[in-house]
Amino acid sequence: MSRYADFYRESIEQRDAFWSEQARLIAWHTPPRQVCDYSRPPFARWFVGGSTNLCHNALDRHLAQRALQPALVAISTETGTERSYSFAELHAEVQRMAAVLRALGVNKGDRVLIYMPMIAEAAFAMLACARIGALHSVVFGGFAAGSLALRIEDAEPVAVVSADAGSRGGKVLPYKPLLDEAIARSKHKPAAVLLVDRGLAPMPRQPGRDHDWALLRAQQLDTVVPCEWVESTHPSYTLYTSGTTGRPKGVQRDTGGYAVALAASMQHIFGAQAGQTAFTTSDIGWVVGHSYIIYGPLIAGLTSILYEGLPTRPNAGVWWSIVEKYRVTHMFSAPTALRVLRKQDPDWFGKYDLSSLKALWLAGEPLDASTAQWISDALRVPVIDNYWQTETGWPILALAHAVEPQSTRFGSPGKAMYGYHVKLIDEASGQELNTPGQKGVLAIEGPLPPGCMQTVWRDDARFVDTYWKSLPGRLIYNTFDWGVRDADGYHFILGRTDDVINVAGHRLGTREIEESLATHPNIAEVAVVGVADPFKGQAAMAFAVARDSTGLDSAAARLKFEGELMQQVDRQLGAVARPSRVHFVGALPKTRSGKLLRRALQAVAEHRDPGDLSTLEDPVALQQVRDLLDAPKNTAP
């Protein structure tokens, strides 16, 4: 049996001994007296009786050995600024922010809502909250006022930390008007708003409530703020899941379990060592930013790069120039970003020395084989997909190369990670599926490992009903994703269970149709949604971006290409999976984190209100889909 198989089996069969060993990777003020309390399923309490602090593990404990090593490098290609903070400098800035927050009335257990662009002060605020035992709730900068108001009401923050504006693609997005409107609409009124003035947009202050960061920071330059030691089970933060409908669903994370999970993942999954450099191209508004921009790299003693900007501005070589300049060893991005870069001149890879890079990790959307092959050939390093959720905080499926080197299989995010008792479940019967190739719902037996959500903020019943009682006959965590597993334990994600469509009695995964269409050499991106059909119940409708649109300017040419694609699906999946139409668009509507907004596409295709579009990156893309569907219809092939 392989080393990883033994490692994984130990984590499941000797759970407490396994995680007791991993707990040694972090610093404890008081050692835990019990590894896991699972006396009240599905609620798991990790490292009970122990006390620690996330900020201490990220900063203070490194000062003796690496005070002068860069801890955080904040780069903005939007404003042309770049600033490096050593562990000592970051420690000082975090104490100043902590002192300011305390002066504004924030105490242990209070909430602080952070509505910030990707600037260093956002990291200061997160770490300062952890330092004083407050819970941060980061909301993606630029969220619409209505969505922000709902999150303010749910979190009930004592204070909000924000800025005058963010910038993307050279376009300034003022935050303060959105924040003011959100607070006006919210039933909860934060007592204080702390503002960072970047000089990008006017920022009128409300007297008595709004405070200037630069001014208050100057009053706290030498203030020492000790870490607040908190119980391991003390909540560290809440984070609202993207795509939430109705009342926001706040994922609540603990402190000790999260610290241990991240420390272990940096060692076993990422093979990271103190002194190396991590460049994660996500945003702090998403869980990847929490885990692998802020906490994970710093806990492991790495330098972490915080980046504001696009992968193509000022040119398509900007990311690779950062890899060269800072000798990046670990890079984490999303398949969507790579698909954008794939459209650019491939010569950019050859302009920079990328020899420091050990691997590229990807998550957020399923990684298609052609994109994986392209980037693997370009970088000549391992390209490692991984799969996880806001709810879990760290990868469910990946390859733990530091435990045992394993071959990558394009299209698969890998094997079940240690601690996750992953199963495939029949959606109708609730029975476990053990035969390779069987399609089932990816589920996890309790207890969830350390670092995963404790509950839904202030709603235990919702936590249980949503995640644990949706599969028949058993209490098991539902990821709401379809998957299959091969004979070697590699999993393949087929899409959301709510992306399954019923075409004339046949259940089809839209992701499978997307994969089929994406194999055509002239398809750059594709999204498939189920659209109501009076005869079949639902029909699959595809929206595709051509890699080369030359020659597709006439209706006849588009219909010919559409026919080719439909025949391809016929050959690969059968006629029942053939889309009713393939529409060609210039871009697909995506969230700012790069996820396709399939629900919005479906709503527009069915002439319904697409609902909350606060996460939409480019409203023009969705409007183009509307215009296309409202145009006179061409005859389908």
pLDDT (0 to 100) of residue 589? 87
pLDDT (0 to 100) of residue 245? 44
Q: Is the peptide bond before 226 cis (omega within 30 degrees of 0)?
A: no
For residue 359, tell me if it sits in a domain: no
φ, ψ of residue 159 in degrees (nearest 5): -140, 155
Instruction: Identify whether residues 446 and 521 lie together within a single domain.
Output: no
Please give the helix or strand (H or E) that residue 575 lies within, else none.
none
Rounded mean pLDDT, 586-595: 79
For residue 98, tell me if it sits in a domain: yes
| 64-73, 80-89, 584-593: segment of lowest average pLDDT | 584-593
The predicted-structure confidence for 227-285, as pLDDT tens digits, reads as follows 999 999 999 999 998 543 457 789 999 999 999 999 999 999 999 999 999 999 999 99
The predicted-structure confidence for 323-359, as pLDDT tens digits, reads as follows 999 999 999 998 888 888 888 888 888 899 999 999 9
- Cα–Cα distance for residue pair 567/238, rounded to 1 Å: 47
Instruction: Identify whether residues 37 and 182 lie together within a single domain.
Output: yes
Place of tokens 């984490």: 332
How does the average pLDDT of the chain come out, rounded? 92
pLDDT score of 142 more than 80: no
- Cα–Cα distance for residue pair 411/491, rounded to 1 Å: 9
For residue 568, tell me if it sits in a domain: yes
pLDDT (0 to 100) of residue 59? 98
Instruction: Identify whether residues 458 and 531 lie together within a single domain.
Output: no
Confidence label for 533 from pLDDT (cuts 50, 70 and 90): confident
pLDDT score of 507 more than 70: no
For the chain, give the number of residues. 637
The tokens describing 144, both together, are 């619409």
For residue 458, tell me if it sits in a domain: yes
Per DSSP, which regions of 415-522 are E strands? 415-416, 421-425, 440-445, 455-456, 477-485, 491-496, 500-503, 506-509
pLDDT score of 491 more than 90: yes
Please give the helix or strand (H or E) that residue 553 lies within, else none.
none
Among left, alpha and beta (phi > 0; psi -120 to 50; other), residue 68 is alpha
pTM, two decimal places = 0.85
Output the domain CATH number for residue 560: 3.30.300.30
- Cα–Cα distance for residue pair 437/322, rounded to 1 Å: 41
Confidence label for 156 from pLDDT (cuts 50, 70 and 90): very high
Question: In which domain, by residue range, is 546 found?
Answer: 504-630
- Measured CA to CA in angstroms, residue 91 lies from 9, 63, 97, 558 at distances of 39, 9, 10, 58
pLDDT score of 636 more than 60: no
Instruction: Identify whether residues 398 and 538 lie together within a single domain.
Output: no
Confidence label for 36 from pLDDT (cuts 50, 70 and 90): very high
For residue 341, tell me if it sits in a domain: no
Instruction: Identify whether residues 142 and 68 lie together within a single domain.
Output: yes
For residue 562, tell me if it sits in a domain: yes
pLDDT score of 206 more than 60: yes
The predicted-structure confidence for 604-622, as pLDDT tens digits, reads as follows 888 887 766 666 777 777 7
Instruction: Identify whether residues 514 and 460 lie together within a single domain.
Output: no
Confidence label for 535 from pLDDT (cuts 50, 70 and 90): low
Instruction: Identify whether residues 108 and 182 lie together within a single domain.
Output: yes
For residue 368, tell me if it sits in a domain: no
Instruction: Identify whether residues 140 and 225 lie together within a single domain.
Output: yes
Nearest to 545 by CA among 522, 565, 512, 569: 522
String of b and e for 542-578 (b: at least 16 CB within 10 Å)? bbbbbeeeeebeeeeebeebbeebbebbeeebeeebb
351 secondary structure, DSSP code: G
Rounded mean pLDDT, 157-185: 95
631 secondary structure, DSSP code: S
pLDDT (0 to 100) of residue 611? 66
For residue 374, tell me if it sits in a domain: no
Instruction: Identify whether residues 416 and 535 lie together within a single domain.
Output: no
pLDDT (0 to 100) of residue 614? 64
Rounded mean pLDDT, 125-146: 92
- Cα–Cα distance for residue pair 362/277, rounded to 1 Å: 17
Instruction: Identify whether residues 436 and 523 lie together within a single domain.
Output: no
Rounded mean pLDDT, 136-155: 89
> Alpha carbon 247 to chain centroid distance?
20
Three-class SS of residue 537? Answer: strand
- Cα–Cα distance for residue pair 447/44, rounded to 1 Å: 6
Instruction: Identify whether residues 411 and 279 lie together within a single domain.
Output: yes
Output the domain CATH number for residue 419: 3.40.50.12780
- Cα–Cα distance for residue pair 166/76, rounded to 1 Å: 11
Nearest to 529 by CA among 479, 579, 576, 494: 579
Counting the structural domains of the chain, the total is 2
Instruction: Identify whether residues 17 and 72 lie together within a single domain.
Output: yes
